[in-house]
């Protein structure tokens, strides 16, 4: 077993990376003096992984929404529900499926060892039958309809559908009622056996724990896996967006918008590129930025306004969004501001302010056990590392950010998605 201590002089902290004999990568970030602990057990498998091959074999295509479906079903076993088991330890458990990963997690202040044992047990012990799969179709069908009735959900996926032509990021994570009807117990087992291989997974633990404590449970519970080569296939995605504008009517008190800039996605961003991009976006759209003040002064946004770098395998975009009485005007002001700074250049004082803010945010997140574990898991799947990212922020220069601006935010390659008020409510 290989245990590596990862240290940061800047953060004044360290954590451990363990290559476990089972094939699983384990990270432990002890936080002395903390009362709580948090664990997340994830696999590099999400909603976009619907076409793949194993060990260069035949190409396999599975129904949309099957990753999310599998997440729901894993909590069940012949002995009962995992949530019932967690209730006995007092842990707060949950799970989620995103575009590129599925994760199972818990937080606790007591009985950590027992809760970790439950996590490693049920995620490694699938139990699917025709009857339980059929029962779940109705439950997830209702969840899909609930998402369809959510204006925040629809404004995002309407934008992704208008932005991406072929990439499965444009498809709802939960799939459709029609696609989940194709899911069977056999397909769930097939998917599980491919992607829930420990070599394709990660365990991140932080808080009031020790390496020895985590390894004792891991050694007891982990079932060794033979490593396989998984290749995911995505259709070629053009650089250009599909549609510049899309709208839908909902019973909302104020229109909601997502304004996305489609970026090149030849490969995942490394720590330096991510740091440069986050600093740039903070300069452009944080609450201390000129653009934010201009939008607020024009009464085009409110405090719900946000921005994000949205990135994963084969897709990348920058999204601005929030509530607005006039979304088209807000989007136009954003475009004009970006065109202006591309022509006239960025302000060095804005850079210094944004760099300090981005650096402060990531360092302060080290006080949160759930932020630590989630961030390490995310970076593991992206091939990045937490402390290297902190160093990258500190080492980013003004020229780096200016260069990054010239590489992205094409004002001719953006999509505005609006959820507007129903006609009789306007």
Positions annotated as catalytic residues are: 71
Phi, psi of 110 (to 5 degrees): -150, 160
CA dist 210 and 108 (Å) reads 15
What is the DSSP pairing of strand 256-262 with strand 414-421? antiparallel
Contacts of 134 (CB under 8 A, 6+ apart): none
SS3 string of the chain?
CEEEEEEECCCCEEEEEEECCCCCEEEEEECCCCCCEEEEEEECCCCCCCEEEECCCCCEECCCCHHHHHHHHHCEECCEEHHHHHHHHCCEEEEEECCCCEEEEEEECCCHHHHHHHHHHHHCCCCCCHHHHHHHHHHHHHHHHHHHCCHHHHHHHHHHHHHCCCCHHHCCCCCCHHHHCCCCHHHHHHHHHHHCCHHHEEEEEEECCCHHHHHHHHHHHCCCCCCCCEEECCCCCCCCCCCCEEEEEECCCCCEEEEEEECCCCCCCCHHHHHHHHHHHHHHHCCCCHHHHHHHHCCCCCCCCEEEEEEECCEEEEEEEEECCCHHHHHHHHHHHHHHHHHHCCCHHHHHHHHHHHHHHHHHHHHCHHHHHHHHHHHHHHCCCHHHHHHHHHHCCHHHHHHHHHHCCCCCCEEEEEEEECHHHC
Q: How many residues does the chain have?
A: 426
């Amino acid at each position: 077993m290989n245990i590596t201590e990862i240290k940061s002089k800047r953060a004044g902290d360290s954590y451990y990376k363990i290559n476990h004999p089972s094939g699983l990568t384990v990270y432990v970030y002890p936080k002395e003096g903390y009362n709580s602990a948090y664990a997340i057990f994830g696999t590099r498998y999400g909603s976009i992984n619907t076409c793949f091959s194993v060990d260069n074999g035949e190409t396999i295509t599975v129904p949309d929404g099957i990753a999310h479906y599998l997440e729901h079903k894993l909590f069940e076993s012949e002995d009962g529900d995992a949530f019932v088991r967690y209730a006995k330890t007092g842990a707060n458990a949950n799970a989620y499926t995103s575009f590129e990963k599925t994760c199972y997690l818990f937080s606790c202040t007591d009985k950590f060892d027992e809760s970790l044992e439950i996590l490693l047990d049920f995620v490694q012990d699938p139990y699917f039958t025709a009857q339980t799969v059929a029962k779940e179709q109705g439950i997830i069908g209702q969840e899909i309809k609930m998402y369809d009735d959510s204006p925040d959900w629809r404004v995002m996926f309407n934008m992704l559908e208008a932005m991406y032509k072929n990439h499965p990021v444009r498809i709802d994570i939960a799939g459709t009622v029609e696609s989940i009807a194709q899911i069977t117990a056999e397909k769930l087992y097939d998917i599980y056996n491919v992607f829930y291989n420990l070599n394709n997974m990660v365990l991140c633990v932080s808080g009031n724990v020790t390496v020895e404590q985590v390894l004792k449970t891991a050694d007891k519970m982990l079932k060794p896996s033979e490593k396989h080569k998984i290749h995911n296939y995505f259709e070629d995605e053009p650089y250009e967006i599909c549609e510049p504008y899309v709208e839908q009517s909902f019973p909302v008190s104020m229109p909601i918008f997502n304004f996305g800039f489609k970026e090149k996605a030849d490969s995942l961003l490394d720590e330096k590129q991510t740091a440069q991009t986050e600093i740039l976006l903070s300069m452009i759209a944080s609450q201390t930025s000129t653009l934010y003040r201009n939008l607020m002064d024009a009464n085009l946004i409110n405090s719900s306004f946000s921005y994000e770098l949205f990135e994963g395998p084969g897709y990348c975009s920058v999204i601005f969004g929030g509530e607005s009485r006039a979304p088209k005007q807000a989007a136009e002001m954003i475009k004009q501001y970006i065109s202006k700074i591309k022509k006239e250049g960025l302000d060095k004082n804005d850079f210094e302010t944004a760099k300090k803010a981005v650096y402060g945010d990531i360092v302060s997140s080290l006080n949160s056990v759930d932020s630590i574990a989630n961030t390490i898991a995310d970076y593991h799947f992206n091939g990045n590392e937490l402390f290297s990212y902190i160093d990258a922020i500190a080492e980013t220069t003004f020229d780096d950010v200016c260069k990054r601006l010239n590489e992205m935010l094409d004002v001719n390659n953006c999509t505005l998605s609006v959820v507007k008020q129903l006609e009789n409510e306007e």
